[in-house]
Chain A
């Protein structure tokens, strides 16, 4: 995943605010367990990605993560003994003991997988829409070199991906059978060291080694900065309120209960509204 500049409200918001909004949205997903809320949040993330003009890469990231979340969904019923509705008895397995798969553990595995999808979607949206350089600038006053190292590490990913693509193309254009994939991977890995040395030399001649803590910059808050900051605060407030007021009546064990009532639907509508309202303002987004 790389940053994809677009004319969108989320792109136009300052990186610290955009980043906080994505993190809060992921946090909200971790705070709830009701499948309807989690599913609703997944749709919110996809809608937000569409509003930011990065739906395709975010959906691609979600698709890539499917095997991972499937593993989560499968592991939970195998390792969790809770739940009263046994749907399969798989016998006794060394170390793990008796493997009784329950409907509750299976359902909760699905919820965990869904929640992981929401979190992955939030961070895919973060990667695509939050400018890493702006983020680096925001954090460099705290820890300049750590922030830069993190930014460079993420920058090496597309560079190495491009190297790998070039190497693969070069091999495809040769006579005879194509080179084995591991040979290409090894060449890219060796090349990564050269790349790292060259990039380090560039950092040196750009004055990185003698870098001073930058002075505090004053940048007026744009309408998008304000909108996403308010949205992030609203999401957090809604989540805390719902948790304190127990709007989400959900229990996975021993019996799976996920009632849908007015409070839950109101929570869901509130979360979606608060999260997506900033995307409605399309003014002043820049290029």
Chain B
């Protein structure tokens, strides 16, 4: 059976349960995506976003098994009758982990693979490869080995392979999770161009909605496998304000806390609204804001930063006489290769929380490895004032036992919020649970003087981020310095009092977070962009809006 060509994706009362699952991952989903439509899937971890995309790709149930009810057609092909291989002709899919999304040895072969599977001739394959490579900005990688690519490069290559055949529908599960803000924006620009110029329907699951909402025609919010909201972006933000505040974008949250409506879909919307209507601020709305100190650690404690200023009182507290980590002129040069780090100077005081930001390949992960003594500098020195713990990008690497209970003592499992899960295999934990277990394992034993974290919020929803931020705050209060490599400007603003921006292996900025993330084009929070850098987080921004006229926010 085939569906008419008028709709790209049609879900009709689709209910699906994974094998042995206690509850359905999709529960009575009705959804239609029109050709050329750009749909964003929103929802917390475990809400069913990935399962919905896997169902549309035909992997559910053909590959994963389980119980499937209802009807689902993609590009006119009914998934009851057509498996993922057949659906690949009409739908390009990209899932979360780029390392398992690449199957060939070189980038050129990877892009050619789906085209060759369709039986295209050599000329058509070569043209498809060139066009996909140019569209994704990876032409310079074509002859590179896939095993030599960084995570961000792999993600773009995998996306190129998904889109090389110019499918009618692109199914994308957090494609920007591994990317720095620049690469993430570039990738979303490519998706928008595919959508607008080729008419490719895009279904995109994303946690950081502020990145993609302005490109969306519709937002579908999922909750426990059900469609909780299906509306245009503005309608979704209005719904989220009432029903799911954790799904609000920072801009929408800023407006909500400031008692303004409608919620802005984009930074441009917000700035225009603020410039046009320097309206009074509702007192009750301000009361919704977080208590002082709960937001940016970098902001001025007395709130005196003002419109044009940035907080400068950062880094004073708990700064002891002896640093817990000191890199002095640290270089790391690969044998026969490039210099990854070039004369890095970095000092961390006890209890200090520092964010490390920069483009993919700037040297962030390498710097953390140097700090944790996994590598030694080829020049310069690293001094440590105690144990340096490292939580690397793959939390699954820390659990070696068959049961969660064998990894940590019961008290520490409870502290990590994992009591009751002791009998599970670590690989059966959810992403957030696995992250908490890994953090517990890293912190087990001698209290670390420094805790390094490499992209800890990748794929995390806001609830989990808030919990992690609270945990890091508690550790810092106890004297452990935190060094956090991240692309997530909002999380850095919430956690770090100081931010180091790495460029080409050397620090290009090392200043209070409020200063670094307020004025950047890419490395800036959405609130900072809306308010011209006067505040980093919605809570601070709303407080400022309560005191100041807002016309100054206009560019």
Contact B103 A4 (CB under 8 A): no
Residue in B closest to A210 when the chains form the complex, CB atoms: B85
- List the B side residues contacting A172 at CB < 8 Å: 374
A200–B101 CA distance with the chains assembled, in angstroms = 9
Most buried by A among B86, B119, B400, B444: B400
Please give, as numbers and ranges, the residues of chain A lying within 8 Å of B441 by CB-CB distance.
174
What is the chain A residue whose CB lies nearest that of B101?
Answer: A202
Contacts of A211 in B (CB 8 A): 85, 116-117, 119
Contact of B389 among A4, A175, A215 (CB under 8 A): A175
- In the complex, are the beta carbons of B147 and A158 less than 8 A apart? yes
Q: Contact flags (1/0) for B112-131 with A, using CB distance below 8 Å?
A: 01101111111000000000
B88 partner, pick from A4, A140, A186, A206, beta carbons under 8 A = A206
With A131-B106, A190-B427: A204-B374 Cβ-Cβ less than 8 Å: no
Q: Are A170 and B397 in contact (CB under 8 A)?
A: yes
Q: Write out the residue numbers on chain B whose beta carbons fall within 8 Å of the beta carbon of A214.
A: 116, 119-120
Q: Of the candidates A166, A184, A202, A204, which one forms a contact with B400 in the assembled complex, judged by CB atoms under 8 Å apart?
A: A184
Q: Which residues does chain B contribute within 8 Å of A198, judged by CB atoms?
A: 95, 97, 100
Residues of A within 8 A of B103 (CB): 152, 155, 199, 202-203, 206
In this complex, how many residues of chain A approach chain B with their Cβ under 8 Å: the count is 59
Known: A133-B109, A205-B93. A170 touches B392 (CB 8 A): yes
B13 adjacent to chain A (CB < 8 Å): no
The answer to the question of A81 belonging to the interface, with a C-beta cut-off of 8 Å to chain B, is no
Please, which residues of chain A bring their CB within 8 A of the CB of B114? 206-207
In the assembled complex, which residues on chain B have CB atoms less than 8 Å from the CB atom of A183?
400-401
CA distance A214 to B120 in the complex (A): 7
Q: Cβ of A167 and Cβ of B145 under 8 Å apart?
A: no
Tell me how far the C-beta of A192 lies from the nearest C-beta in chain B, rounded to whole angstroms.
11
- A173 and B147 contact, Cβ closer than 8 Å, known pairs A194-B427, A202-B100, A205-B84: no
A170 to B397, CA, bound (A): 6
Q: How far is the CA of A5 from the CA of B84 in the complex (A)?
A: 33
CB pair B145–A207 under 8 Å, yes or no, is no
Contacts of B120 on A, CB cut-off 8 Å?
214-215
Is there an interface contact between B105 and A3, defined as CB atoms closer than 8 Å?
Answer: yes
User: A181 CA to B162 CA in the complex, in Å?
Assistant: 38
Complex contact B85–A204 (CB within 8 A): yes
Point out the residues of chain A lying under 8 angstroms from B374, CB to CB.
Answer: 169, 172-173
Distance of A133 Cα from B102 Cα, bound (Å): 13
Cβ contacts A209-228/B at 8 Å (1 or 0 each): 11111110111000000000
| A199: contacting residue among B100, B143, B389, CB under 8 A | B100
CB contacts under 8 Å to A, within B111-163, are 113-114, 116-122, 143-145, 147, 161-162
Residues in B neighbouring A209, C-beta threshold 8 A: 83-86
Instruction: Give complex CA distance A260, B403 in Å.
Output: 67
Binding site for B on A (CB under 8 A): 2-5, 131-134, 136-137, 140, 151-152, 155, 158-159, 162, 166-167, 169-176, 179, 183-184, 186-187, 190-191, 194-195, 198-215, 217-219, 286-287
Give 7 A-B contacts (CB < 8 Å), ordered by A residue. A5-B145, A174-B442, A184-B400, A204-B58, A204-B62, A205-B58, A208-B117
Q: Please provide the 7 A-B residue pairs with the shortest distance between their CB atoms, ordered closest to farther.
A: A209-B85, A175-B445, A133-B109, A198-B100, A217-B122, A212-B119, A207-B88
